[in-house]
């Protein structure tokens, strides 16, 4: 077997089918395009007039809306809501404390309680379930609390938007980073 004699490690170095080096370097293969498009089927509360274009007019308020069957605009309108490529881990890859049935679906039942939970290897639900825990696109965190105080979450910050750059949680994360919708950042 003969290989092309171009610089080792470059994309141009390739096996030559006829056993002879090619006269010109071989180009790198073009990666397959990834598909990320807004759904044409989604409508707020099932209304076709309130589709992803409707969400796009006020994404900060509308990306968290669902169609009435728990299909969030965040999932249905990924281009509009900035969630392309963001998805929760599957049940096989992340389980709360390794327990069967304790996947991201379990976390979704009470994100404020479970998003900081860890699996057997120390991965938090917030890392493994970013869509569920509000870590994709323009979403408010479901676990952020001003100074760690109960009730002082992103909803609280809606009334204190002038403090978004100042207020921090116990880990030092500012409200404007954790609560972009409440703080009008997106």
Q: What are residue 126's DSSP bridge partners? A: none
Using CA atoms, how far apart are residues 108 and 114, in angstroms rounded to an integer? 8
Using CA atoms, how far apart are residues 121 and 86, in angstroms rounded to an integer? 21
Q: What are residue 168's DSSP bridge partners? A: 174
Using CA atoms, how far apart are residues 130 and 123, in angstroms rounded to an integer? 12
pLDDT in tens, the chain (186 residues): 343 343 334 343 334 344 555 455 545 554 444 579 999 999 999 899 999 999 999 887 788 788 988 788 888 999 988 888 888 887 678 888 777 788 888 888 888 788 888 888 888 888 899 888 878 877 888 888 999 898 999 989 999 999 999 999 998 999 999 898 889 887
Three-class secondary structure assignment of 90-113: CCCCCCECCCCCCCHHHHHHCHHH
pTM tops 0.75 = no
By three-state DSSP, how is residue 176 classified?
A: helix
Q: What are residue 72's DSSP bridge partners? A: 66
Q: In the chain, which ranges are continuous DSSP H helix?
A: 52-57, 59-62, 73-76, 78-81, 104-109, 111-114, 125-128, 154-157, 175-178
């Amino acid at each position: 077997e003969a290989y092309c004699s171009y610089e080792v490690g470059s994309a141009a170095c390739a096996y030559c089918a006829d056993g002879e080096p090619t006269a010109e370097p071989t180009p790198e293969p073009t990666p397959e395009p990834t598909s990320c498009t807004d759904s044409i089927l989604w409508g707020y509360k099932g209304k076709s007039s309130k589709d992803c274009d409707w969400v796009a007019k006020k994404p900060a308020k509308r990306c968290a809306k669902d169609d009435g069957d728990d299909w969030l605009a965040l999932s249905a309108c990924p281009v509009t809501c900035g969630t392309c490529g963001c998805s929760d881990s599957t049940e096989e890859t992340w389980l709360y404390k390794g327990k069967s049935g304790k996947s991201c679906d379990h976390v979704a039942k009470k994100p404020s309680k479970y998003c900081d939970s860890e699996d057997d290897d120390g991965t938090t639900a917030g890392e493994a379930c970013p869509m569920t825990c509000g870590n994709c696109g323009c979403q408010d965190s479901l676990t952020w609390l001003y100074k760690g105080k109960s009730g002082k979450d992103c909803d609280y910050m809606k009334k204190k938007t002038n403090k978004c750059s100042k207020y921090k949680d116990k880990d030092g994360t500012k409200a404007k980073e954790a609560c972009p919708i409440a703080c009008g950042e997106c």
